[in-house]
Amino acid sequence: MLKIVKTSLVIAASTLAFSNAAQANDINELRKKMRSVQSDYKLKLRDYYSGISCNGQSLIRTAITNNAVEVGTLLVKKMPSKDLAEPESDGKTLQAWIAEQGLQSSPISAELNGRI
């Protein structure tokens, strides 16, 4: 059952994060998927966030690199601040990765710094 949840979220996140032309309903689709996972499976974003990746990157990293500001900001707001400060699968925190990539000017980075 968790595999189905992960697969549907990967598809939703990939669709949202990799679209070149941002559409007005992308953020709404992500919210709808997150709500349905929470109501159907009693899982919150923090429960499945680490199990989902796009091209080997976390969802927030993918949102930053693809300039998906609304999606990235939503993900940062929905994650507990404690989890945002922890190292990801490569051992780097989001803040360290952002600094390494030179992406400090990203609005998602600003939102992250405000939460941590």
Please state, in angstroms and rounded to a whole number, the distance separating the CA atoms of residues 70 and 95. 18
The residue segments making up the domain with residue 55 are 2-115
Please state, in angstroms and rounded to a whole number, the distance separating the CA atoms of residues 21 and 111. 22
Number of domains within the chain: 1
Per-residue pLDDT of the chain (116 residues; tens, 9 = 90+): 666 656 555 555 555 544 444 444 678 999 999 999 999 999 999 999 988 888 899 999 999 999 999 999 999 999 999 999 999 989 999 999 999 999 999 999 999 999 98
